Amino acid sequence: MAITDIIKQLSSGMGVTIEIFFVTLVSSLILGLGLALVRMSKFKILSILAKVYISIMRGTPLMLQLLVVYFGPYFIFGIPITRSYRLNAVLIGFALNYAAYFAEIYRGGISAIPEGQYEAAKLLGYSRSQTFIHIVMPQVVKRIIPAVANETITLVKDTSLAFTLAVAEMFTLTKQLVAAQSSMMPFVVAAVFYYIFNLLVAMFFDHVEKKLSYYR
């Protein structure tokens, strides 16, 4: 099979990979912020529950978590599993997993803000929500960009774990082509796809970091 044919076949899988990537990134960034705030809450019970959740999600393999999300509804609630649920299970599993990692990144960024800034904002008449949105978060975003970039690059590579639930993303199609052709060329093409994707992600975060350099 010609390289052009391999690229054409893998491109369809790349579309699924990109979908998994963007849905996971957006949802986990939002969930992660909420989880970080709960983790830092003064309500001990909520804080402990968030801490336990983060510990479990970071301490167990993502592949295992995907299997639990996929088979869990059937074994726990007796809900039939459909083929269409596979991709949804992957999206849910990835979002829940990466939310835990982003929560710790957010927590580190928020904790790094000096307490004096909160007191100064209070004297200026800012409410707690205004202080968080207008003073704290802009600085947090600047501080956590490198860590978020690193985690996002990891996410690009982790999308290949969707093969666990037989979702036809790029890595799944690559393995099928290799088995069918007894050739390493599909692996080479897939590696180029992943590298270009990660290169674009790295360039994007470099651009964002430069734009936010005025916070230094």
- Say what percent of the chain tops pLDDT 90: 56
pLDDT tens figures, 27-60: 999 999 999 999 999 899 999 999 999 999 999 9
- Say what percent of the chain tops pLDDT 70: 98
Q: Distance between CA 81 and CA 68 in Å, rounded?
A: 12
Q: Look up the pTM and report it.
A: 0.90
Kindly report the average pLDDT of the chain as a whole number: 90
pLDDT tens figures, 194-209: 999 999 999 999 999 8
Residue pair 16/168 in contact (Cβ under 8 Å)? The answer is yes
Q: Distance between CA 143 and CA 166 in Å, rounded?
A: 38
Amino acid at 159: T
Q: Which domains does the chain have, with CATH numbers?
A: 3-215 (1.10.3720.10)
Question: Which tokens go with 85?
Answer: 């649920």
The whole-number average pLDDT for the span 186-192 is: 91
Residue pair 106/29 in contact (Cβ under 8 Å)? The answer is no
* DSSP notation for 127-170: -HHHHIIIIIHHHHHHHHHHHHHHHHHHHHHHGGGGGGGT---H
* pLDDT of 216 higher than 60: no
b/e burial code for range 88-104 (CB count within 10 A of at least 16 → b)? ebbbbbbbbbbbbbbbb
Task: Look at residue 214 in the predicted model and tell me its pLDDT.
Answer: 61
Task: Look at residue 100 in the predicted model and tell me its pLDDT.
Answer: 97
**Tokens 């969707």 correspond to what residue?**
162
Q: Distance between CA 23 and CA 19 in Å, rounded?
A: 6
Could you give the C-alpha distances from 130 to 122, 127, 183, 203, in angstroms and in order?
10, 5, 58, 32
Task: Look at residue 1 in the predicted model and tell me its pLDDT.
Answer: 64
Task: Look at residue 99 in the predicted model and tell me its pLDDT.
Answer: 97
For residue 170, which of 194, 200, 188, 154 has the smallest C-alpha distance?
A: 194
* 114 backbone dihedrals φ, ψ, rounded to 5°: -60, 140
Angle, helices 85-111/44-59, rounded to nearest 10 degrees: 120
Torsion (CA) 198, 204, 206, 212 in degrees, nearest 10:
-150
